[in-house]
């Protein structure tokens, strides 16, 4: 064996260490890149839109006149849609999670449903739009009412909610259920009085996060034919509606015709992002405050 030339080795070692340091900064800059874009995006939207937000903008009706346009209708539309999405996804999502985690026998059927759910999570949102168009709008004749939009979005976010609720249920330690069974409680009593209450905080956190996904979703609504310009406010789940992301979409498209519309779109984005920020803060608050330590 040749003797190692220490001098050569040291100089090579130095080069290797230098190379490591250079790449470390490249990796760091890469990580920073996404965050810089995020910062640019937020600053851009704020500088462009924040000045347009005032009480008239928030409470006014739509108008072709950029100076007078308001987003109350879109805000109400979003709220109404959420009033459909929340109960529908919570009941179906938590119910499915409870079934899969606590009732279904480990086996082919259960793994079939779970595979199916993870596949559904990967289906593009626009395809859900077509499902909604065919089933809710046409077959059930709901047209472009709040209910059609709400149900479509519910199906879209359901896989996310189910998976997070499953994780929440799995995190409840088995010894709590044991204690309940040992008192002579039945399975449903144990689930309803012990397991669900213990998992509640995590389930709520997960459902708020999936709700914020639904709030920002646009593609399925475009397929349902949600109108670009709608003056009346929705007053129930059977009314036609528009929603914040739809308003952003139309104003962005038309900004090539009327330049101010871009500012309106930016202002609406600010409102949407604030809404999402508040929802996420609530989710984090619930997670930190109410999550049980076992």
Partner 1 sequence: MAKNSDSKTNNAVNVSEMIVQNKKKKSMSNLMEKLVPSFLFLLASITVLTTIGILYTLLLEAIQFFKAVPIWEFFTTTELKPLSQDPQFGVLPLISGTLISTVIAMIVAGPIGLMSAIYLSEYASDKVRKVFKPLLEILAGIPTIVYGFFAFTFVTPLIRTFWPELGATNILSPGLVMGVMIIPMIASLSEDAMNSVPNSIREGSLAMGATRLETTFKVVIPAAFSGIIASFVLGISRAIGETMIVTIASGSSKNFTFDITQSMQTMTAYIVEVSGGEAPAGSTIYYSLYAVALTLFVFTLIMNLLARYVSRKFREEY
Partner 2 sequence: MSMLMERKMTVENDKHVKKSSNSHRIVYDTKDLNLWYSNTHALKDINLAINEKEVTAIIGPSGCGKSTYIKTLNRMVELVPGVRTTGSITYKNKNILDKSFKVEDLRTQVGMVFQKANPFPKSIYENIAYGPKIHGIRNKKVLDEIVETSLRGAYIWDEVKDRLNENAYGLSGGQQQRLCIARCLAIQPDVILMDEPTSALDPKSTLKIEELAQELKKDYSIIIVTHNMQQAARISDKTAFFLNGEVIEFDDTNTIFTNPADNRTEDYISGRFG
Burial of 146 (0-12, 13-18, 19+ CB in 10 A): buried
Task: Name which position in 79, 216, 233, 291 contacts partner 1 (CB under 8 A).
Answer: 216
Could you tell me how many residues of this chain bind partner 1 (CB under 8 A)? 84
From residue 154 to residue 173, the character string flagging contacts with partner 2 as x (rule: CB under 8 A) and all else as - is: -------------------x
Rounded Cα gap, residues 280 and 274, in angstroms: 10
Could you tell me how many residues of this chain bind partner 2 (CB under 8 A)? 21
Q: Which stretch binds partner 1 (CB under 8 A): 57-65, 71-79, 170-178, 263-271?
A: 263-271
From residue 268 to residue 287, the character string flagging contacts with partner 1 as x (rule: CB under 8 A) and all else as - is: -x--xx--x---x-------
Name which of residues 3 to 62 contact partner 2 (CB under 8 A).
Answer: none
237 binds partner 1 (CB under 8 A): no
Cα torsion 149, 154, 156, 162 to 10°: value is 180
- Classify the phi-psi angles of 225: left when phi > 0, otherwise alpha if psi is within -120 to 50, otherwise beta: left
126 binds partner 1 (CB under 8 A): yes
127 binds partner 1 (CB under 8 A): yes
Distance (Å) of CA 147 to CA 80, 128, 292: 9, 15, 36
Cβ-based nearer residue to partner 2, 82 or 201: 201
6 binds partner 1 (CB under 8 A): no
86 binds partner 1 (CB under 8 A): no
Task: Name which position in 63, 115, 116, 189 contacts partner 2 (CB under 8 A).
Answer: 189
Q: Are 97 and 113 in contact (CB under 8 A)?
A: no
Task: Name which position in 23, 40, 193, 284 contacts partner 2 (CB under 8 A).
Answer: 193
Q: Which residues pair with 240 in a beta bridge?
A: 145
Cβ-based nearer residue to partner 2, 71 or 191: 191
Name which of residues 54 to 73 contact partner 1 (CB under 8 A).
Answer: none
b/e for 258-283, b at 16 or more Cβ within 10 A? eeebbbbbbbbbbbbbebeeebeeeb
Q: Are 173 and 195 in contact (CB under 8 A)?
A: no
Distance (Å) of CA 230 to CA 201, 246, 250: 38, 11, 12
CA atoms within 13 A on the CB side of 275: 22
44 binds partner 1 (CB under 8 A): yes
Which does residue 185 bind out of partner 1, partner 2, none, counting CB within 5 to 8 angstroms by kind?
partner 2
3-state secondary structure of 232: coil
Which does residue 59 bind out of partner 1, partner 2, none, counting CB within 5 to 8 angstroms by kind?
none
194 binds partner 2 (CB under 8 A): yes
Query: What token pair was written down for 269?
Result: 């984005």
Query: What token pair was written down for 238?
Result: 């059977």
Interaction site with partner 2 (CB under 8 A): 106, 173, 175-176, 178-186, 189, 193-194, 197-198, 292-294
């Amino acid at each position: 064996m040749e003797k190692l030339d220490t001098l050569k080795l040291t100089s090579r070692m130095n080069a290797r260490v230098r190379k490591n340091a250079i790449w470390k900064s490249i990796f760091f800059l890469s990580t920073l890149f996404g965050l810089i874009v995020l910062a640019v995006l937020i600053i851009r939207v704020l500088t462009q839109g924040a000045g347009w937000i005032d009480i008239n903008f928030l409470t006014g009706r739509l108008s072709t006149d950029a100076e007078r346009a308001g987003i109350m209708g879109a805000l109400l539309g979003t709220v109404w849609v959420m009033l459909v999405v929340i109960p529908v996804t919570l009941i179906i999502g938590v119910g499915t999670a409870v079934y899969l985690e606590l009732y279904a026998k480990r086996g082919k059927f259960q793994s079939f449903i779970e595979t199916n759910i993870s596949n559904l999570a990967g289906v593009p949102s626009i395809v859900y739009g077509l499902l909604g168009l065919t089933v809710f709008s046409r077959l059930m004749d709901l047209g472009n009412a709040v209910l059609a939009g709400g149900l479509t979005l519910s199906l879209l976010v359901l896989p996310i909610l189910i998976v997070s609720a499953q994780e929440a249920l799995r995190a409840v330690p088995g010894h709590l259920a044991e204690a309940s069974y040992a008192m002579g409680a039945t399975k449903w009593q144990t689930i309803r009085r012990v397991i669900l209450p213990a998992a509640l905080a995590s389930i709520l956190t997960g459902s708020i996060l999936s709700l914020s996904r639904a709030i920002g979703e646009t593609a399925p609504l475009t397929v349902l034919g949600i109108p670009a310009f709608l003056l009346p406010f929705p007053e129930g789940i059977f009314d036609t509606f528009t929603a914040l992301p739809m308003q952003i979409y139309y104003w962005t498209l038309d900004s090539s015709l009327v330049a101010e519309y871009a500012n309106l779109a930016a202002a609406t984005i600010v409102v949407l992002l604030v809404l999402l920020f508040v929802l996420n803060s609530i989710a984090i608050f619930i997670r930190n405050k109410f999550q049980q330590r076992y």
